[in-house]
Amino acid sequence: MEKTMEILFSGKVQKVGFRAYVRNTASTLGLSGEVENLTDGRVRALVTGDEALIEKFISLTYGCPRAVIRKVSAEEYVYTEFSGFTVKRE
């Protein structure tokens, strides 16, 4: 069953290529959505796809070589359809 999740990453996740890593990981898994930097230093991702694939996606984000993820929070979000996976720029 497809759903949309809002995932917030905190730690050293900005200016280390994390958004591109998130986009590539999500695209590889066939997930759609978007990722953006927040002004408080966190990164926010909206991800739509199969629940099991979203869980796998979250675990794979820890593999970003230059990021240091301290905390991840994920909550169900209103179902949203995206065309592909994009990086939102400031």
* pLDDT per position as a tens digit, 17-51: 999 999 999 999 999 999 999 999 999 999 999 99
DSSP 33: E
Q: What is the pLDDT of residue 35?
A: 98
- The pLDDT, as a whole number, for residue 89 is 85
Is 19 one of the catalytic residues? yes
Q: Which one of 23, 24, 37, 66 is the catalytic residue? A: 37
Cα–Cα dist 88/90, whole Å: 7
Mean pLDDT of 63-69: 96
Q: Give the H/E segment covering residue 53.
A: helix 51-61
Q: Which helix (H) or strand (E) holds 26?
A: helix 18-28
Catalytic pick from 19, 23, 44, 89?
19
